[in-house]
């Protein structure tokens, strides 16, 4: 890695904010107690820290503190919400609904349930990656017990109309789970206003530590119950047994508090930088395409396809710039992004896509440097591409018969 590395992969993970680390350190050192140890001061101090964090996070969500439990991260929260709700309410019906562009931490539990006898409906998205509320309405049945739709997409940044989706679920008596991992701390998230029954989040997407997350579980109208995944001790109101990660919980709450203090200003600043990068790449390079919704998307996200180059080749050519050619959880695969495929992006363009995700610690100078180096890399790779040369000559690549004679 270059000594002048620039980090623009904030949707994969964010750097730990020094203020968050400072808040966490005492709970590694002098306040090391177990929050479940209620017979002495060490445990009481830890328990108080956890409950203060629970209250802060719940308040940020428009929830009650008793409706929030802590987990190891969004993957666990998603699994507990989906598997726990489906199993608890299977006597009411075994039809579950999600969308084609969900994170694997949602799709894989759904596929697991399908293999266990549940019937799964996967909603298509439009060319921008959005779920149509009317398509959802048409998919719901009397035996539908659970719907899971994310707030903001991790690859293309598209935001779904969550409040409307939640209202439709409630009209039909189905529970609504929302993965808000990418949006909490960046967009307004309120479980009451958005009709959300279960909500997942993770600290490391909002400048907090890895290995800690939370799950909101509605207690009233309706009261949601879950079958637990873990057994042993009955921690977190019986939903999630296991000793709590007290430093992590403190870190999650502190990170969210910092995000909320300056959310509008910070996201506006990031959006300006994102738009500058987008303008340069789309205006200075031909055969480029924006993936995702042009407006209803996260301020942090910019996903662009650069035709006639391979995304993997671009990553190698852009040494010292941390970006991704898909979501971090699927980047080991050479298959085109299933999210881009769901948007109708062809395999060639999907293979050439790069996700730039900006964050709190990026600067305007870094944006210009990334734009310069991306443009130079694309131009260099295209100089070696006969397909690009053919396109410049006006040849329709799609019409060429490549069969050998």
pLDDT tens, 120-179? Answer: 999 999 999 999 999 999 999 999 999 999 999 999 999 999 999 999 999 999 999 999
Catalytic residue IDs: 329
Instruction: Name the band, by pLDDT with cuts 50, 70 and 90, for residue 4.
Output: low
Q: What percent of the chain has pLDDT above 70? A: 95
Tell whether the model's pLDDT for residue 2 goes beyond 50.
no
Helix extents (H) in 262-385: 263-284, 311-317, 338-342, 347-351, 364-383
**Interaxial angle between packed helices 41-61 and 246-261, expressed in degrees from 0 to 180 and rounded to the nearest 10:** 30
Dump pLDDT digits (tens) for 179-201.
Answer: 999 999 999 999 999 999 999 99
For the CA atoms of 330, 333, 335, 340, the dihedral, rounded to the nearest 10 degrees, stands at 20
Report the mean per-residue pLDDT for the chain.
Answer: 93
Residue 165: closest CA among 181, 184, 146: 146
Structural domains of the chain, ranges and CATH numbers in brackets = 6-13+262-393 (3.90.1150.10), 18-261 (3.40.640.10)
Backbone phi, then psi, for 399, in 5-degree steps?
Answer: -90, -5
Confidence of residue 332 (pLDDT cuts 50, 70, 90): low
What is the spatial distance between Cα 37 and Cα 41, in angstroms, rounded to a whole number? 9
Looking at the whole model, is its pTM more than 0.85? yes
Measured between alpha carbons, how far is 56 from 1 in angstroms, rounded to an integer? Answer: 38
CA distance linking residue 58 with residue 253, whole number of Å: 10
Q: What is the DSSP letter of 159?
A: B
Q: How does pLDDT run across 305-331, given as a tens digit for each residue?
A: 999 998 888 999 998 999 998 544 544
The answer to whether the CB of 68 falls within 8 A of the CB of 200 is no
Taking CA atoms, 50 is separated from 7, 165, 204, 231, in Å, by 32, 32, 18, 21
Predicted confidence band at 238 (pLDDT cuts at 50, 70, 90)? confident
């Amino acid at each position: 890695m270059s000594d002048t590395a620039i980090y623009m992969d904030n949707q994969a993970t964010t750097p730990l904010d020094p203020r968050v680390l400072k808040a966490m350190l005492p709970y590694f050192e002098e306040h090391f107690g177990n929050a479940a140890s209620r017979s002495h001061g060490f445990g009481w101090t830890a328990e108080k820290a956890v409950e203060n964090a629970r209250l802060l996070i719940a308040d940020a969500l428009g929830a009650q503190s008793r409706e929030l439990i802590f987990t190891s991260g969004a993957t666990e929260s998603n699994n507990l919400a989906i598997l726990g709700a489906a199993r608890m309410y299977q006597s009411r019906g075994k039809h579950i609904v999600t969308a084609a562009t969900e994170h694997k931490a949602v799709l894989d539990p759904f596929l697991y349930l399908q293999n266990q006898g549940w019937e799964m409906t996967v909603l298509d998205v439009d060319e921008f990656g959005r779920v149509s509320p009317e398509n959802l309405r048409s998919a719901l049945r009397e035996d539908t017990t659970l719907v899971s739709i994310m707030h903001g997409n991790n690859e293309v940044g598209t935001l779904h109309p969550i409040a409307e989706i939640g209202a439709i679920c409630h009209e039909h008596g189905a529970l609504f789970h929302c993965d808000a991992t990418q949006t909490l701390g960046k967009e307004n998230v309120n479980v009451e206003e958005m009709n959300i029954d279960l909500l997942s989040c993770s600290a490391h997407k909002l400048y907090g530590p890895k290995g800690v997350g939370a799950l909101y579980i509605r207690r009233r109208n309706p009261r949601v119950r879950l079958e637990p995944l873990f057994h042993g001790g009955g921690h977190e109101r019986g939903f999630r047994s296991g000793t709590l990660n007290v430093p992590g919980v403190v870190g999650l709450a502190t990170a969210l508090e910092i995000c909320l203090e300056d959310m509008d200003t910070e996201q506006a600043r990031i959006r300006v930088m994102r738009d500058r990068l987008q303008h340069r790449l789309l205006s200075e390079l031909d055969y480029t395409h924006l993936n995702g919704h042009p407006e209803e998307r996260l301020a942090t996200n910019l996903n662009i396809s650069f035709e006639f180059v391979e995304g993997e080749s671009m990553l190698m050519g852009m040494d010292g710039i941390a970006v991704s050619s898909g979501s971090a959880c699927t980047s080991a695969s050479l298959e085109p992004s299933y999210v881009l495929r769901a948007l109708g992006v062809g395999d060639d363009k999907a293979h050439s896509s790069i996700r730039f995700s900006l964050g709190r610690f990026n600067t305007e100078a870094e944006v210009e440097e990334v734009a310069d180096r991306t443009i130079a890399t694309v131009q260099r790779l295209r100089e070696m591409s006969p397909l690009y040369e053919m396109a410049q000559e006006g040849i329709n690549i799609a019409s060429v018969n490549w069969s050998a004679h």
